């Protein structure tokens, strides 16, 4: 109103008609600045992080500074790597793993401590089926970061490694600090770090005033708002079979929520006809053998969705569905493969797919 009043009283030439072009020009400028005329575009941003790729779509106005947004995204991803990359000797997780003193409280960043709190919650909810200290067992079975031939260890070896496995062996009682209760405890948060990266990128995008977007890192997803056409974002669940990289099993719609899928159908080895998956049960030290080949989780944040999807592979369909039923705003789909190769999906009560 003030804008119109200013233009209408600034007259030139005969009569009032000269003010109309000025009012129209100011209205156009105001419309562009406020982005209230539907002048939006869908922009793709991509790159590499955490040993994988990321893909982002944002529905933004034409005046949005995409270079500034990309810098903010990269900064958030750098923060995640500086916290949880086990390939960096100077990362927080590597410095924690190197600690030999069980009396020292190591100060950590707010973001890292927040992930550890989620890990502690997951460990308790799943009764140890999710555990961020399982790396010694993963390495023993030949699925670790350093390539080696997988093998079936002796029971005594497994039991010896199990002594240093247990998220309860890390003290989180002092906010912003971590302490080991055993000197040989080590962390590997690969099953939850990508989810945290997705959440941090989503925060950065929203901080730029963008509400409609899609973030995907290594298959873990957060969808904000809707697509440019006003329809919900659609996410495909991969066909849980080896070699099926582009085949879709089910499709879900997503808005202001996270989605993560874990599977055991690509990384395994066989000995005497028995299949050994890279998904280990931290409670026993052995690969899971419950028929679950895929678990997908819808949750308010991707850190929780990412870790819980891994835990469901360990828990199995029945126990996993019981855990999910306790959590508000969380749904899941657990896919079990029978010995004859048939796939059966077990959804939670509120899980929905689309054609």
Could you give the domains of the chain?
A: 92-180 (1.10.3980.10)
Reply yes or no on whether the pLDDT at 26 is more than 50.
no
Would the pLDDT of 5 be above 80? no
* pLDDT surpasses 60 at 28: no
Given a cut of 70, whether residue 34 has pLDDT beyond it is: no
pLDDT value of residue 241: 78
Mean pLDDT for the stretch of residues 277-304: 95
* Percentage helix, strand, coil for the chain under 3-state DSSP, each rounded to 5: 35, 25, 40
Looking at the predicted structure, is the pLDDT value of residue 46 above 80? yes
If phi > 0 it is left, if psi is from -120 to 50 it is alpha, else beta; for residue 83 that is alpha
% of the chain with per-residue pLDDT over 90: 75
For every residue of 188-246, DSSP letters joined together read --HHHHHHHHHHHHHHHHHHTT--SEEEEETTEEEEES--TTSPPEEEEEEPSSTT-SS
Q: How confident is the model at residue 42 (pLDDT cuts 50, 70, 90)?
A: very high
Question: Which region among 18-32, 34-48, 192-206, 289-303 has the lowest average model confidence (pLDDT)?
Answer: 18-32
In the structure, what pLDDT confidence band is assigned to residue 217 with cuts at 50, 70 and 90? very high
Question: What pTM value is reported for the model?
Answer: 0.86
Report the pLDDT value the prediction gives residue 22, as an integer from 0 to 100: 52
Mean pLDDT of 58-80: 92
- Please give the average per-residue pLDDT across 236-257, as a whole number: 86
Comparing 9 with 313, which gets the higher pLDDT? 313
């Amino acid at each position: 109103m003030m804008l119109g009043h200013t233009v209408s009283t600034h007259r030139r030439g005969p009569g009032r008609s000269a003010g109309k072009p000025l009012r129209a020009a100011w209205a156009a400028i105001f419309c562009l600045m406020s982005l209230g005329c539907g002048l939006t575009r869908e922009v793709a941003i991509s790159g590499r992080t955490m040993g994988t790729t990321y893909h982002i779509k944002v529905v933004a106005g034409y005046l949005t500074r995409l270079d500034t947004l990309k810098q903010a995204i990269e900064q958030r991803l750098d923060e995640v790597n500086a916290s949880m990359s086990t390939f960096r000797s100077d990362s927080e997780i590597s410095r924690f793993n190197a600690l030999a003193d069980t009396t020292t409280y190591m100060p950590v960043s707010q973001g890292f401590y927040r992930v550890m709190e989620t890990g502690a919650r997951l460990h308790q909810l799943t009764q140890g089926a999710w555990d961020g200290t399982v790396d010694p067992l993963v390495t023993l079975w030949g699925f670790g970061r350093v390539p080696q031939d997988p093998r079936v260890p002796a029971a005594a070896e497994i039991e010896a490694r199990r002594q240093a496995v247990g998220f309860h062996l890390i003290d989180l009682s002092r906010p912003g600090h971590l302490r080991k209760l055993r000197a040989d405890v080590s962390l590997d948060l690969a099953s939850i770090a990508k989810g945290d990266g997705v959440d941090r990128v989503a925060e950065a995008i929203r901080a730029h005033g963008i509400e409609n977007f899609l973030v995907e890192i290594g298959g873990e997803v957060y969808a904000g708002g809707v697509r440019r056409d006003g329809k919900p974002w659609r996410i495909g669940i991969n066909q849980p079979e080896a070699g099926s990289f582009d085949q879709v099993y089910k499709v879900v719609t997503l808005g202001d929520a996270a989605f993560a899928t874990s599977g055991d159908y690509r990384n395994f080895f066989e000995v005497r006809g028995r299949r050994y998956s890279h998904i280990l049960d931290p409670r026993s030290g052995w690969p899971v053998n419950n028929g679950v080949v895929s678990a997908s989780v819808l949750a308010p944040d991707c850190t929780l969705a990412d870790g819980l999807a891994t835990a469901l592979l360990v828990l199995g369909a029945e126990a996993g569905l019981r855990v999910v039923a306790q959590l508000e705003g969380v749904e899941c789909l657990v896919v079990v493969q029978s010995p004859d190769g048939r796939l059966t999906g077990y959804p939670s009560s509120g899980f929905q797919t689309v054609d």
